Amino acid sequence: MKWDAAVFDLDGTLINSLADMASSVNRILAGAGYPPRTIDEIRQFVGNGAKMLLKRSLPENVSTDETEYLLELYKKDYQAHLLDETVPYPGIPSLLEQLKKNGVRLAVLSNKPHASTVQICNTLFPGIFEIAWGDRPDVPKKPNPAAVWNALEEMGVSKNKAVYIGDSETDIRTAKNAGLYAIGVLWGFRDRKTLEAENPEIICDSVRELEKGLLYQ
């Protein structure tokens, strides 16, 4: 099948942003007098937006008010350090260029803050994505399908001609909830067992395998 549109998750799918997120979280924790989190812990905490990342990183007894205060500090800190170490995964830029050359329309939907999503896409993938949306107050976070449906409507693409690609259980659930063909990728933040439990149509071990699935299926 030739897809008319490909909708991508961002963190763990297109970019390796784990180090920058972990550094920002740990700066906030240190400033508040809390112990740091490891990279592996942060890897498991991401996927449901900045608020859940910080909440999972904090000790359980932290109050709601303090969590909200530290969340705002985290957002400001992360926005200032978005691209310290964050880079596209090897092969991703060329894959996106190839898809675009083949007439596939491209979108990014992320649970990270909207401003961060836009800045990262504009910097690392200039001119590639027709839509790059992060977490916005008027749209529910993934795995709610609203953002997917809104993006497809804006692009004028039917859901049976679109594919969704992501690295986490949240992404596969998003694709399923939206009625899209779901592709899981294994170079990001989750393992095969986690993705298999969500029953995606296919799971790709490499960007080359993803390219074959998107262009030559």
Q: Annotated catalytic, 9?
A: yes
CA distance 117 to 182: 22
Mapped onto helix, strand or coil, the DSSP state of residue 48 is coil
**170 Cβ contact list (under 8 Å, min separation 6):** 47, 48, 111, 142, 143
In order of 4, 78, 94, 119, the CA distances from 112 in angstroms are 25, 10, 24, 11
> Quick one: 178 exposed, middle or buried, by C-beta within 10 A (0-12, 13-18, 19+)?
buried
- Secondary structure of residue 90 in the 3-state scheme: coil
Which residue of the set 4, 9, 11, 77 is catalytic? 9
Q: In what order do the strands lie in the sheet with 162-166?
A: 131-135, 105-113, 5-8, 162-166, 181-185, 202-204
Active site residues: 9
